[in-house]
Copies of this chain bind each other. A is one copy, B any other.
Amino acid sequence: MNVAAPVLEPGATIGILGSGQLGRMLALAAARLGFRCHIFAPDRDSPAFDVVRESTRADYDDEQALARFAENVDVVTYEFENIPAETAAFLAPLVPVLPDPKVLATTQDRVAEKDFILGLGIGTAPYAAVATAAELSDALDRIGRPAVLKTRRFGYDGKGQAAITKEIAPEAAWREVGAQPSILEAFVPFAREVSVVAARAADGRVECFDLTENEHRDHILKVSRVPAAVSDATAHEARRIAETIAHRFGYVGVLAVEMFVLRDGALLVNEIAPRVHNSGHWTLDGASVSQFEQHIRAVAGWPLAKPIRKGRVEMTNLIGHEVDDYRKWLIIPGTAVHLYGKIAVRPGRKMGHVTRLFAD
């Protein structure tokens, strides 16, 4: 049994599982609204710990630490969708956990996620669950090449993925993803990648940010541009898809739906992220309310704001040593620089982002 979602008063404490830049930006947004945050995470080099008074550094299976955490917060949310299901299950009887942990069960498993999406009548790339190298061979015969093999669980930023082109032997791809339960997805010749960042309140109201177009490099988001260069009909349909998903989950908080736009304007859902999302970082500077504030409003039982975009926006991630160039960005007029306070610079690590605002 889960605890009913509360309506928080200013001064209440929001517990956040996960301590990366998303947790950090959630905590900063919560502070603006008069809330305190308590961060719970196992990691040492953790940007979110620096912006809160109370934090717990403990493993996600440390039940004593979790119980103390639950006692000291008024609601729990997460910045990170790979929170162990057991952690959420342990907390849910003690304190409201939003969005509902059952969402994680779906989104942590790429096959369950795709089944869920298809069940809503929404398109995805053709896919098949594969549990053995032999099943992979069969699936490749049905789905064709090129295709992408991905682990069912715990993949992000391209980790746990293998492209299967003509030359690649199924066995090699199977080894590359670690010979574990996986999903084979057809490669879709898309025209664009887009995402909808949507907030849903407990009362069922949904507010979507404008459709964002995303450019990846080495499987990591590099640039987001708003508005996306698609027809009004496509933008409208993308929003409808995100709303449908949010409603079916009974979702409370912010989620992101990544989609492919095909050459004819049709949309296929690629992935659901049950959390604030990198492709929504532009909202901090480019909209009248940010994705982080919308999430905090939703989990606090507060009304959502109606987002108003302030212009044409371009968000660029600073990845790895690109962050060393931050001074270049500081002096470009109309550019907002965000640095995450991470200590170690590693290739592929998201160290910050910059947002540029232009007249529409």
Contact = CB atoms under 8 A, between A and B. Distances in A.
Interface of A: 10-11, 24, 27-28, 31-36, 49-53, 55, 285, 288-289, 297, 302-303, 305-306, 308, 310, 323, 326-327, 330-331, 333-341, 343, 352, 357
Contacts of A36: 50, 341
Contacts of A52: 50-51, 53
23 contacts: A10-B339, A11-B343, A28-B31, A31-B341, A32-B338, A34-B326, A34-B339, A34-B352, A35-B341, A36-B50, A36-B341, A49-B53, A50-B52, A51-B52, A52-B53, A288-B333, A288-B335, A288-B357, A302-B327, A303-B331, A305-B331, A308-B334, A310-B310
Q: Which 4 A-B pairs have the closest CB atoms?
A: A34-B339, A34-B341, A306-B333, A10-B339
A33 B50 CA distance: 12
Contacts of A288: 285, 333-336, 357
A330 B330 CA distance: 32
Nearest to A33: B339
A299 to B, nearest CB: 14
Number of copies: 2
A336 B305 CA distance: 9
A340 B297 CA distance: 16
A77 to B, nearest CB: 18
A51 B30 CA distance: 10
Contacts of A51: 27-28, 31, 51-53
Given A51-B52, A51-B53, A53-B51, A339 B305 contact: no
Contacts of A305: 330-331, 333, 335
Most buried by B among A36, A335, A337: A337
A334 B323 CA distance: 32
A108 to B, nearest CB: 30
